[in-house]
Amino acid sequence: MDLIFHTWPWYVSGFLIGMIMLCLLYFGKSFGMSSNLRSMCAMVGAGRYTSFFNFDWKSQRWNLVVVLGAMLGGFVAVNYMSDASNIAINPITIEALASLGIDAPDGKLLPNSLFGNQTFENPKNILILLIGGVLIGFGSRYAGGCTSGHAISGMSNLQLPSLKAVIGFFIGGLIMVHLLFPLIF
């Protein structure tokens, strides 16, 4: 049981993701989280207003189970498996975050000042979350998928657009962390 309740090494998680990808390839399926948003919009009838949502969402039901599994897995991980004792955060990272007014995670994986309940008490943080959510939604739609779809599914299928999208995701992440994040916080 000790193995289950600690962070898994990258080679175990990576191997399991690879096995899932082989199964998806065998059954002719593609993986991605942002495509589920399209399916959910189609389920509630958005196809009556926009042709983009007018498709057979029932053929994607299996992928909706992936979303439910991710939500359930996140709940279980946070409430029953969040042992941060084997995670070592670089002191330079802690110092850099402290210079921006962000506390170091105390016995947790995430700083409370960014991910705690008090985040929702500040209108600036709510605005940042709303703008960030819209930008992520627009970006994943513009890129034809999200990071999981392109990086895991698209690149394992050797798709050049997925490689370009993943390179763009990394460049965007670097710009955000090194240029925009210090300006926002």
What pLDDT, in 10s, does the model give residues 60-72?
Answer: 888 888 888 889 9
Q: How many residues does the chain have?
A: 185
pLDDT at 105: 72
pLDDT band at residue 131 using 50, 70 and 90 as cut-offs = very high
Each residue of 147-176: pLDDT tens digit? 888 888 888 888 899 999 999 999 999 998
Interhelix angle for 34-43 vs 123-142, to 10°? 90
56: exposed, middle or buried (Cβ count in 10 Å: 0-12, 13-18, 19+): exposed
Instruction: Write down the domain spans for the chain.
Output: 1-82
Q: If you average pLDDT over every residue of the chain, what do you get?
A: 83
Structure tokens at 130: 């709303």
pLDDT at 74: 84
- Does 2 or 101 have the greater pLDDT score? 101
Listed residue (103, 128, 127) closest to 116, CA to CA: 103
pLDDT band at residue 85 using 50, 70 and 90 as cut-offs = low
